[in-house]
Structure 1
């Protein structure tokens, strides 16, 4: 039976951000945009020369285009601004599917089980009020034996628990996304996507927010209230009340920025998120919050890109990289397939595997 490439071709093109005309131009007009559209609709199959040109223009292997393995995203939920376009959302989903297909292929080559995740006991947790997200965050921490300590590397924690975390450069209006990926065998896996272009504090809060969507089960809450509950969960998960009560106290009428920044480096959150959390816990009253809002506004921290001094290091998803190195080392995967999974050239992969001087968080 003739292999068709429509689904894979459209996925790779959308992930690249190219239109049909863009792809045609990238192939030096070897074929028209209309012809590429027919390939994507499986109305025709390209010859070997065109297939090679498509592979080069999209920076994917011919094997990838010809593969019949497919995964699908379900229950997609974005954390975004209103300015995010449908095209930007479609490109994010395509990027995620593109990355996940490679991710699952690497795990399969190593014989690893990727069908389950360590769902916290009792999850998903039903909540009927925004503040009930507080208890849900505590239950996740208890289930994962985190105690009251700060989480130093949130991506590593989530991936160790079986969630798939994808760090990709995304359009600025999109902070992140949560979804479930359905494998060809029917298994469902939770996936969290975070914008690799954002600073560390913003990434960490996005990860906490998206984790909330994976473990909360809201009842009789509006969409806006669900988002507020996810925000509350993220704050409670990253900044447990016990830490704040111990470090800041139960009630404050004044606080210095120096004190907030000192605690920022411990918890890995922005001073703005820290202030909001203290407000939710009743530590800061409205008069103090108004003074802090004014200060944040004057400093320009409440406007995009929301950057503050003493930026927290960016989160990075390194598990796929480690697995690719292992797969190549064990001969379970060719260097070319591993490089494709990581979005780099074979030469770059060889350099990365050769020594520790390469940046471990890239790509």
Structure 2
């Protein structure tokens, strides 16, 4: 029997089905391989024959080596999902498979390109106060080489420069040529610790502020929970960390007051790239908003229909690191040669590391410049004290 770190063709076959969203019946129709054979191989009840694995590989446009490559080093039961309670188990399993393959590819690509591992802080304290979380968010800004009291113009690029890879999760269909995504999940992340690979996966949405909060939230898990896996309230801690990272305490205490109207929050959203609802929570976290004022603001948000769609558009960010490393290693058209070397389906690789022409450019990221900042769409009037200037990188 293979060890936990060796490839089991049966387990890899199940991973492939999860990855592509295929049932045993689907695979039978595509290849003629019987469902009983598939089931027996996946449960290690019989040894797979290479000719049938090859049929499956050809039908799914997957390199045959996929079935024999060592799986990801990520213990999938340790993954922390930011998701809705109604997310199905089947979809969550599929996302786990996608993230596991994304991590495997990221480990190999960053290692081959000798890209540095992230120098992000961490904590081992059994319990964390709000002050502890604020301090760790400040330390993280230092690690990401960000100004201590200004907006983060492009969080994705800051993460990537620091060695934290970012991958959008877009699930290929069974044919591998179109993609679907889910609104039930938001993000997933893993970091094994000092000197190891870190990857944040997120589901790109239609609102840039929500994507940025998801990235900050997942970064919070890396910082707060890598060495504290049994924290009592990991999601609440990660949310508070995200608010503290995106808007440092000293600015929140100045800019968010109990007299600030929703119009004022909209102006702050334009400056800081945070949703109005996240800003209200941030004001409460630093002690500037009491419970009654917070509830009143949320009632007003609901009355205006802003719960799901707020005013002020925050530009969407797009990752670039994995694509850049792929082209460095495999040329300007990397998907086909890289898919063979990395033992991954080309369409899946394209989802993990999207081509900038269809990702970064389309989402408003300026290409060909060092700045690469997302432009928040601002209203004509400025927030209190004027909008902070963008951070130069």
Normalized against structure 2, the TM-score is what? 0.73
2:23 to 19, 23, 28: 19
State yes or no: 1:336 paired with 2:336.
yes
Inter-CA distance 335–214: structure 2 relative to 1 (3 Å threshold): closer
Count of aligned positions: 335
State yes or no: 1:96 paired with 2:99.
yes
1:216 is matched with 224
1:319 is matched with 321
Query: Match of 1:165, SS?
Result: strand
Inter-CA distance 344–4: structure 2 relative to 1 (3 Å threshold): closer
Q: Distance in 2 between matches of 1:150 and 1:99?
A: 29
State yes or no: 1:252 paired with 2:258.
yes
Q: Distance in 2 between matches of 1:259 and 1:307?
A: 17
Q: CA deviation at 1:39?
A: 3.3
Pairing 1:335-354 to 2, within 5 Å after superposition: 336-338=336-338
Q: CA deviation at 1:268?
A: 1.2
Query: Match of 2:197, SS?
Result: strand
Q: Distance in 2 between matches of 1:24 and 1:220?
A: 40
1:207 is matched with 215
Q: Distance in 1 between matches of 2:50 and 2:128?
A: 58
Inter-CA distance 220–130: structure 2 relative to 1 (3 Å threshold): farther
Cα deviation code 1:89-130 (max 9, x no counterpart): 21111001122223333345x44256x32132xx22526244
Q: Distance in 2 between matches of 1:40 and 1:336?
A: 27
Cα deviation code 1:203-252 (max 9, x no counterpart): 211221221221125989963x3322221111011111222344x26x33
Conservation of the 8 A alpha-carbon contact between 2:191 and 2:222: no
2:35 to 33, 36, 46: 33
1:267 is matched with 272
2:185 is matched with 174
Q: Distance in 1 between matches of 2:271 and 2:110?
A: 34
Q: CA deviation at 1:31?
A: 1.2
Q: Which moved more, 1:263-272 or 1:83-92?
A: 83-92
Q: Distance in 1 between matches of 2:229 and 2:329?
A: 47
Q: Distance in 1 between matches of 2:312 and 2:59?
A: 40
Q: Distance in 1 between matches of 2:9 and 2:106?
A: 20
Q: Distance in 2 between matches of 1:52 and 1:361?
A: 38
Conservation of the 8 A alpha-carbon contact between 2:72 and 2:101: no
Structure with larger RCO (C-alpha < 8 A, sep 6+) = 2
Q: CA deviation at 1:296?
A: 1.3
Conservation of the 8 A alpha-carbon contact between 2:191 and 2:199: yes
Q: Distance in 1 between matches of 2:284 and 2:72?
A: 43
Query: Match of 1:73, SS?
Result: coil
Conservation of the 8 A alpha-carbon contact between 1:128 and 1:220: no
Q: Distance in 2 between matches of 1:362 and 1:103?
A: 24
Pairing 1:273-312 to 2, within 5 Å after superposition: 273-302=278-307, 306-312=308-314
Spell out structure 1 runs of 4+ moving beyond 4 A.
217-222, 339-345, 356-359
Where in structure 1 are there 5+ consecutive unaligned residues? none
Q: CA deviation at 1:339?
A: 5.9
